[in-house]
């Protein structure tokens, strides 16, 4: 079909004829969006992808969305090879998506304010793109993680990636292997599960629902503080909550930022 003949309805009908697996449909639509994006960059169309807003069908979840215990989480982090252990701590501490962690540049880490700015992501196909939603463009408190990240980026160029951990499949396999060794076996466990850990433990240690949404970068009807600055009271409140959660999981922070 010509690009001008492909609309939202045509894409939805195409998706409806695919196998019922939501994961398979999502992967195919991701490739479609990448093709459409390249067509737009090359000047063949000025329209946004007609796949936006389509339904992939109901998710059929045949397993519980479990998270590890505090001790199992610490064991998992200890088993993971460098830099995956630190990446796992960052996801649980901040609520970052794994694609956002893989897409972090040195220039986006603000050690002075103990913060990190989300401006790009590296997806499972190793393509770089904007955050998934406008709410995904956010500044997050690092808390105690600032010390580790200061060491990680010391002497590095601004446009270098903070973490070079290999392809997404490698990261996923190592995380699942570590979970099994830690005694946590749960079908479907992966990096997204660590975001669930963040959301659960953030609320458990007293964080509000609104702050948790801001941390996770979930889209809302009215996006507040889209470009939140580290000096704001909102940011400081969220940083205090991150530190409480990190103390529960990691113990009292030791050392300082050189």
Q: Look up the pTM and report it.
A: 0.71
Predicted local confidence at residue 54, as pLDDT: 84
Which is the CATH superfamily of the domain at 70-250? Intergrase catalytic core (1.10.443.10)
Q: What is the rounded distance in angstroms from the CA atom of residue 176 to the CA atom of residue 192?
A: 12
Handedness of CA 107, 122, 89, 115 (dihedral sign): positive
Examine the pLDDT at 221 and tell me if it is beyond 50: no
Examine the pLDDT at 231 and tell me if it is beyond 50: no
Burial of 254 (0-12, 13-18, 19+ CB in 10 A): exposed
Contacts of 228 (CB under 8 A, 6+ apart): 138, 139, 214, 234, 235
Predicted local confidence at residue 228, as pLDDT: 32
pLDDT tier, 153 (very low <50, low <70, confident <90, very high otherwise)? very high
- Give me the residue label for tokens 């292997």: 177
What one-character DSSP code corresponds to residue 255? S
The segment(s) of the chain belonging to CATH 1.10.443.10 are 70-250
Q: Are 182 and 68 in contact (CB under 8 A)?
A: yes
Predicted local confidence at residue 219, as pLDDT: 62
Instruction: Give 11-27 pLDDT, tens digit per residue.
Output: 999 999 988 888 788 88
Instruction: Give 95-136 pLDDT, tens digit per residue.
Output: 999 999 999 999 999 999 999 999 999 988 888 988 877 788
Q: Quote the tokens at residue 188.
A: 């479907």
Predicted local confidence at residue 59, as pLDDT: 63
């Amino acid at each position: 079909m010509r690009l001008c003949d492909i609309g939202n309805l045509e894409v939805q009908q195409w998706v409806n004829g695919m196998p019922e697996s939501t994961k398979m449909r999502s992967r195919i639509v991701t490739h479609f969006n990448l093709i459409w994006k390249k067509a737009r960059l090359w000047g063949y169309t000025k329209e946004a992808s007609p796949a936006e807003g389509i339904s992939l069908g109901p998710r059929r979840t045949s397993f519980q969305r479990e998270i590890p215990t505090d001790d199992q989480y610490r064991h998992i982090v200890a088993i993971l090879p460098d830099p995956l252990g630190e990446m796992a701590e960052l996801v649980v501490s901040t609520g970052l998506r794994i694609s956002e962690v893989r897409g972090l540049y040195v220039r986006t880490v603000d050690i002075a304010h103990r913060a990190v700015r989300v401006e790009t992501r590296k997806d499972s196909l190793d393509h770089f793109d904007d955050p998934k939603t406008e709410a995904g463009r956010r500044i997050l408190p690092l808390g105690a993680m600032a010390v580790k990240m200061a060491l990680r980026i010391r002497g590095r160029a601004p446009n270098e990636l903070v973490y070079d951990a290999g392809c997404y499949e490698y990261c996923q396999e190592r995380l699942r292997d570590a979970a099994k060794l830690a005694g946590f076996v749960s079908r479907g466990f992966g990096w997204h599960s660590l975001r669930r850990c963040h959301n659960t433990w953030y609320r458990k240690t007293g964080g509000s629902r609104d702050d948790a949404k801001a941390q996770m970068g979930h889209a809302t009807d009215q996006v507040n503080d889209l470009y939140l600055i580290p000096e704001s009271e909102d940011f400081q409140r969220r940083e205090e909550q991150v530190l409480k959660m990190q103390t529960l999981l990691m113990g009292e922070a030791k050392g300082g930022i050189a």
